[in-house]
Amino acid sequence: MKKLHNTSGILIALFFLIASCGEKKSSESQTTDAGPAAEEWITLFDGSNLDAWRTYREDQVRPQWQIDEDGNLWLSEKGGGDIITREQFESFELELEWKISEGGNSGIFFHVAEADTLRNTFFSGPEFQLLDNDNHPDGKIPTHRTGDNYDMQSSSVETVRPVGEWNKVRIVVDNGRVEHWLNGTKVVEYVLGSPQWEEQLERSKFKKWPLYGRAGKGHIALQDHGDEIWFRNIRVKRL
């Protein structure tokens, strides 16, 4: 009986050892699985520096773009020029928050290309419009209001918050299919190069620029339209 008791004890010990190893392996597996998901997002601005950015067609960011005392990216005055990401993106998801000054105008561009013939970001990059709809003259023009695919397509619903309040933007570009999200609501959707998009392009100011919306990939840009604007919590992930 004593021998049987010892054997049972050994078997029990082996069982707990195997179970313990299994739990450890499972825990390690969960950690490994969670790691890449956490690393998918690329921080473009977190309040600490502007290393991910430079002025369009220049090497550095001009001093008009500053980090204010609250850790926000702030265009303090005209002359900063549009700033672009140092990296380029094709299919991606972008998230950021913004607020604008009274009567202000700005925008977010993507698939921005650089060349001697492209003097501005909007010669190639489609724009998510940012505007004080109530106090800027463009607020009276359909396709020129906040959330619009600028000069191409109007938002389906208006979800912008009053001047001085933070708004959240999400832009999804997935193999040419584009979504504009504003404060949790999808307000615009289109497909680059589709028949509908081509018709809109023909009616827009961009039809004279052959690379507009056709680069396929490029930089993300924030616009200097001469008005104060603030950004924070800017991040992107490739799709």
CATH number for the domain harbouring residue 128: 2.60.120.560
In angstroms, what CA-CA distances link 10 with 1, 2, 186, 196?
14, 13, 62, 73
Could you tell me if 32 and 55 lie in one domain? no
Residue-range definition of the domain harbouring residue 178: 43-238
CA distance 21 to 238: 36
Nearest CA-CA partner of 84 in 122, 55, 114, 43 = 55
Contact in structure between 93 and 170 (CB atoms under 8 Å):
yes
Domains of the chain: total: 2
Return the amino acid letter for 168. Answer: K
pLDDT number for residue 39: 59
Residues 25-41: tens digit of each pLDDT: 333 333 333 344 545 99
Mean pLDDT over the full length of the chain: 88
Contact in structure between 129 and 148 (CB atoms under 8 Å):
yes
pTM value is 0.84
pLDDT band at 62 (very low <50, low <70, confident <90, very high): very high
Q: What is the 3-state secondary structure (H, E, C) of 124-184?
A: CCCEEEEECCCCCHHHHCCCCCCCCECCCECCCCCCCCCCCCCEEEEEEEECCEEEEEECC
Could you tell me if 213 and 99 lie in one domain? yes
Could you tell me if 90 and 31 lie in one domain? no
Q: Does pLDDT of 21 surpass 80?
A: no
Could you tell me if 18 and 59 lie in one domain? no
- Residue 179 burial class via C-beta count within 10 angstroms: exposed 0-12, middle 13-18, buried 19 and up: middle
Please tell me the least confidently modeled range out of 37-51, 53-67, 69-83, 109-123. Answer: 37-51
Could you tell me if 16 and 70 lie in one domain? no
**Strand, coil or helix: 11:** helix
Q: Does pLDDT of 81 surpass 80?
A: yes
Q: Does pLDDT of 80 surpass 60?
A: yes
